[in-house]
Structure 1
């Protein structure tokens, strides 16, 4: 039986997914193990002689019918929510995960496995991943924005970002974002930072287009340079051979030879800057968007629902941009192959 979202009859607190639950063998009433042990018997022991069988009370039924129960904290959420309004944990689309029933105290555990302090045994219980990475959902991230609200907006990879945002807020320290360094403007578009993402994606595409154009338009010059380089290297006089070759070129040809290196250096610098700065940029973006959503929430509109539908990522746009990058990157080789 699923006890998540139901109340312990002793402490009147909700059962959570990781709680150690003891079920009375006579009537089926669930208890927290600590509550059962402190009481010393089932809370409904006086009803056993009357043939009592555990039933969900009206209060619990009213609170959980038509609701999504958070598998992490047991909070009852509206069916339209994707993340818990209490702790920010993702909600399953259907019924909450079934809780494993712990054996009564003193019951043997097979194969010598040990009981973990949260119930169940260590061989079969998997720890629940905390979407807030240990940060309290009510932690203030500034501008009246909480960690729980930020998790609802971020959606994908929340443990990483919530921990990073918390470090930025409390210690002014961030982490190097390798995905942002690799994909620069495309990563910003993926994270729905459309304005600044479009600018840097255009810059990146422009740099790649310039490099591709030079490779195609001056393919013969690059071929001659590579031949001169190979001959100088084989003769053992690399510096002298390259210097002699360069002396025979005009200023425009020399500039064309150096441009691809300069363009590549600019791209590398941009990648490093993005890796260092993107997490801070995304943190500011999230707070700005969450604040705007909360301020613009109309009557009858649930800000939590809007946060979950407006945030997240744009995978389709990121894939389209990646395809464009690949086309521009390999187009020169295809064209030169047909020349």
Structure 2
């Protein structure tokens, strides 16, 4: 970590010394003293992550050793008499690169390019939407723009297609996630009824005992399950096509309420937008635990029913 010697910690501002225990943010590359990073629990520049801003070392600044210079390209220290950086190979006399944020009130989204902070989608600015979405702003912002410019709700989202209601809980769209989970639970009923009757038939075949089961009901439930599978595929396709539009509507609604509560442009407003947006993995794990519990509860009920018959 010698290349950070003489550069200030992103959290406390103290200059790094040789031998310091340094932690580098995996998102933006900002260096911290380990104790500073662990005390904060996150990168000191976390709010800039949503804007796609990468940490840059002080340009042209020397470290504690005057015989070393800091490369304007990668930030590594190189002996002053060397014409090229020993880390990246670039010339040491090159001028500093122009990094984001770019001039004119724009900021840079990796894979998207410069986007003006004052550009809006409805009554939400791009900066506010980036703060709301968080680290995946580079995925959502161009799709939000396309939806707004085309005035079309279609925009494909693979995560929503595969994850169904889990995706909406993850993105804090709890009402949509709850409705979809309820639909999923209701569609399990024919499968439970079919399994219960099938287990009776199965046990009869291996035990030789006469166990009453409803063959007609089994056939009906089997047919219903076929239609349910078709419906589930149609629902997954629908979610994949319109999840981004639903997320944009949700973001605009939350941003609007947050600005009314804290005042547009205030630091508390931006913090509130980031807090109420982003993601919630804890909720996903809770929902997953509930679904696992439900599965075992149903299995236990079916087993008890079969045992009572025997």
Q: Give how far 1:334 is off.
A: 6.7
Q: Distance in 1 between matches of 2:160 and 2:127?
A: 24
Q: Give how far 1:313 is off.
A: 1.3
Q: Pairwise CA RMSD of aligned residues?
A: 4.3
Distance change (3 Å), C-alpha of 1:280 and 1:112:
closer
Point out where structure 2 has 5 or more consecutive residues left out of the alignment: 1-5, 11-27, 30-42, 60-69, 72-77, 98-107, 204-213
Give the structure 2 partner of residue 325 of structure 1: 291
Give the structure 1 partner of residue 134 of structure 2: 155
Q: Distance in 1 between matches of 2:218 and 2:255?
A: 52
Task: Indicate if the aligned counterparts of 2:84 and 2:91 stay in contact, CA closer than 8 A.
Answer: no
Give the structure 2 partner of residue 260 of structure 1: 225
Match of 1:189 among 152, 169, 179: 169
Task: Indicate if the aligned counterparts of 1:215 and 1:332 stay in contact, CA closer than 8 A.
Answer: no
1:108 equivalent to 2:87? Answer: no
Match of 2:123 among 139, 144, 147: 144
Bigger Rg, structure 1 or 2: 1
Q: Give how far 1:205 is off.
A: 2.3
TM-score by length of 2: 0.59
Q: Distance in 1 between matches of 2:293 and 2:132?
A: 33
Q: Give how far 1:105 is off.
A: 11
Task: Indicate if the aligned counterparts of 1:185 and 1:197 stay in contact, CA closer than 8 A.
Answer: yes
> For 1:136, what is the secondary structure of its paired residue?
strand
1:260-304, Cα deviation, whole Å (9 max, x unpaired) = 222222222111111111011101111111112112215987211
Q: Distance in 1 between matches of 2:243 and 2:111?
A: 20
The more displaced of 154-163 and 319-328 is 319-328
Query: Within 5 Å, which residues of 2 pair with 1:3-14?
Result: none
Distance change (3 Å), C-alpha of 1:157 and 1:330:
farther
Distance change (3 Å), C-alpha of 1:149 and 1:81:
farther
Query: Within 5 Å, which residues of 2 pair with 1:302-321?
Result: 302-321=268-287
Q: Give how far 1:222 is off.
A: 7.4
TM-score by length of 1: 0.55
Q: Distance in 1 between matches of 2:195 and 2:224?
A: 13
Q: Distance in 2 between matches of 1:274 and 1:285?
A: 15
Query: Within 5 Å, which residues of 2 pair with 1:244-283?
Result: 250=216, 252-283=217-248
Q: Give how far 1:143 is off.
A: 2.5
Point out where structure 1 has 5 or more consecutive residues left out of the alignment: 6-70, 73-78, 121-128, 225-247
More strand by share: 2
Task: Indicate if the aligned counterparts of 1:177 and 1:275 stay in contact, CA closer than 8 A.
Answer: yes
1:147-190, Cα deviation, whole Å (9 max, x unpaired) = 11111111142211112212222344754212111222221121
Matched residues, number: 232
Match of 1:133 among 95, 107, 112: 112
> For 1:83, what is the secondary structure of its paired residue?
helix
Match of 1:88 among 51, 58, 66: 51
Task: Indicate if the aligned counterparts of 1:139 and 1:146 stay in contact, CA closer than 8 A.
Answer: yes
| Higher RCO structure (Cα 8 Å, ≥6 apart) | 1
